[in-house]
Amino acid sequence: MKILTGNDLKSGAVTWWTGVGWSLDVNDAADVGEDGAKIIAREEGAQNVFAAYVIDGVKTAEGVRPAHIKDRIRALGPTVRPDLTLKPSDPEAVNWVI
């Protein structure tokens, strides 16, 4: 699948396009098919997001997994500070990245 990610203008937080809006949780990411560029232009224009780009991902039983390690780290948080990731109480979360 093709998924769309960017950063929130005010906070800089990593966000994922859900089909109707932006979410902090990569598992909410929607398949944008061929529409990525169009959505980016609209959403950046409306200041809802910036530095947005389209990436490959796969949908698994556990959720959405970005194809590249860089985006998996963006989705979770720094692997060296599990306490600051989106899943601070899940010791297995880091393995999902790698």
Partner 1 sequence: MYKYDEYDQQMVDTRVAEFRDQVRRRLSGELTEDQFRPLRLQNGLYLQLHAYMLRVAVPYGTLNSAQMKVLGDIADKYDRGYGHFTTRQNIQYNWIKLEDTPDILADLAKVEMHAIQTSGNCIRNISSDQYAGAAADELVDPRPYAELLRQWSSFHPEFLTLPRKFKIAVIASETDRAAMRLHDIGIKMVKNDAGEIGCQFYVGGGMGRTPMIGPMIKEFVPLDQLITYSEACLRVYNRYGRRDNKYKARIKILVHELGKDEYARQVEEEFAHLLSQGIEPPLAELERIKPYFDDPAFETDASDDLDLSDPDFRLWVERNCHAHKQAGYTIATVSLKPIGGIPGDASADQIRLMAQLAKDYSFDELRVTHAQNIVFPHVKKADLYTLWQKLDEAGLGTANLDSVGDIIACPGLDYCSLANARSIPVAQKISERFGSAEKQAEIGELKLKISGCINACGHHHAGHIGILGVDKKGVENYQLLLGGSEGADTSLGKITGPGFDEDGIVDAVEKATGVYLANRQEGERFLDTYRRIGMDPFKEAIYG
Judged by CB under 8 A, does residue 53 bind partner 1?
Answer: no
Q: Which of 53, 59, 84, 87: binder of partner 1 (CB under 8 A)?
A: 84
Cite the beta strand spans of the chain per DSSP E: 2-7, 14-17, 22-23, 50-59, 64-66
Pick from 2, 9, 35, 93 the residue near partner 1 by CB under 8 A.
Answer: 9
3 state DSSP class of 2: strand
- Please state the closest distance from residue 58 (CB atom) to partner 1, in A: 13
- 64: its two tokens: 């959405």
Q: Which residues bind partner 1 (CB under 8 A)?
A: 7, 9-14, 44, 47, 50-51, 67-70, 73-74, 77-81, 84
